[in-house]
């Protein structure tokens, strides 16, 4: 249990799979089902984004559920992996955006997102997308705003970086102010 707390359930699941421990996958998958990476409205938004990504993935890879090879777990790349360090950056960026404002992906008197990302182990050429979702009633409204934002930007540029399927990792944070919820979502390829 100490390892589980130290590395988190996703890290332990990866470690167990790498080590090939018999029964480890089932035990850790059960633990993972009982632990949610987010709470409240964040969980609602995460579930909707993850569900949408899985649908996009299955549309692009129709045979992903049929894979039976042991080294290729069925759909293992279909859902988002939550990264705690991305969530910490999202929390910091959200607090700064709520305090100082936010425009075109920039927060006045703050470094840009790439400076924050340099503090974690990430590939400097990896694509990261930041979505600041303001004044939402709940996670459902945040999801709707995120999907409209992605669709609008995809229509302008026709660039895959505005699709959820393009990204693998997710970090997010939310704060309430004046009865509304503000979300910062980071997607990393």
My answer on whether 162 and 106 are in the same domain is yes
Domain count, the chain: 2
- Structural domain harbouring 25: 1-35
Same domain, 83 and 176: yes
Q: Other CB atoms closer than 10 Å to residue 59's CB: what's the count?
A: 9
Asked whether residue 25 falls in the same domain as residue 106, the answer is: no
Looking up residue 174, the CATH number of its domain turns out to be 3.40.33.10
**140: number of CA atoms within 13 Å, CB side?**
0
Q: How far apart are CA 49 and CA 36, in angstroms?
A: 15
Q: Check: pTM over 0.85? Answer yes or no.
A: no
* Shared-domain flag, residues 27 and 98: no
**Per-position pLDDT tens, the chain of length 189:** 333 433 444 554 454 444 555 665 565 555 555 466 799 999 999 999 999 999 988 888 777 665 555 455 555 678 899 999 999 999 999 999 999 999 888 898 887 888 888 878 777 788 999 999 999 999 999 999 999 999 999 999 999 999 999 999 999 999 999 999 999 999 999
Same domain, 54 and 137: yes
């Amino acid at each position: 249990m100490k390892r589980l707390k130290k590395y988190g359930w996703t890290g332990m699941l990866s470690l167990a799979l790498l080590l090939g421990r018999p029964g480890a996958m089932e035990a850790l998958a059960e633990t993972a089902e009982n632990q949610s990476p987010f709470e409240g409205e964040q969980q609602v938004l995460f579930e909707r984004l993850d569900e949408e990504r899985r649908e996009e993935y299955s549309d692009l890879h129709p045979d992903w559920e049929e894979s039976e090879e042991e080294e290729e777990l069925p759909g293992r790349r279909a859902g988002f992996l939550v990264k705690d360090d991305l969530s910490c950056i999202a929390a910091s960026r959200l607090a700064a955006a709520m305090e100082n404002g936010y425009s075109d992906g920039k927060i006045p008197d703050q470094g840009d997102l790439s400076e924050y990302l340099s503090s974690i182990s990430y590939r400097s050429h990896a694509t990261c997308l930041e979505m600041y979702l303001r004044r939402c009633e709940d996670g459902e409204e945040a999801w709707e705003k995120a999907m409209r934002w992605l669709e609008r930007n995809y229509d302008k540029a026709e660039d895959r970086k505005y699709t959820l399927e393009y990204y693998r990792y997710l970090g997010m944070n939310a704060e309430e102010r004046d009865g509304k919820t503000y979300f910062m979502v980071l997607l990393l390829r």
